[in-house]
């Protein structure tokens, strides 16, 4: 009886550990993906506000920029 129970536990422990690891990695990946769009949007917002404030639309020569 005890060896049957031990074999059953060994039979199910490895797949259960793999599935648990997969769930943890997936949850971590999804939480990291949730931060991608706000970080991309924040860079564009900073660039847009910089252009609105300082850029007048006139072409600049190398003397002005360099």
pLDDT in tens, 20-51: 999 999 999 998 888 877 777 766 555 555 55
Q: What pTM was computed for the model?
A: 0.50
pLDDT value of residue 60: 61
Rounded to whole angstroms, the maximal C-alpha distance in the chain is 88
Return the residue matching tokens 């924040």. 42
pLDDT value of residue 62: 61
Give the C-alpha separation, 27 to 33, whole Å. Answer: 10
Q: Provide the 3-class DSSP secondary structure of residue 59.
A: coil
Average pLDDT (10-20) is 93
How open is the CA angle 5-6-9, to the nearest 5 degrees?
A: 85
Percent of the chain with pLDDT over 70: 61
Q: Say whether pLDDT at 7 is over 70.
A: yes
């Amino acid at each position: 009886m005890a060896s049957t129970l031990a074999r059953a536990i060994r039979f199910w422990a490895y797949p259960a550990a793999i599935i648990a690891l997969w769930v943890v990695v997936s949850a971590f990946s999804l939480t990291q993906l949730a931060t991608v769009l706000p970080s991309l949007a924040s860079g564009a917002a900073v660039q847009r506000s910089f252009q609105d404030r300082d850029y007048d639309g006139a072409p600049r020569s190398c003397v002005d920029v360099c």
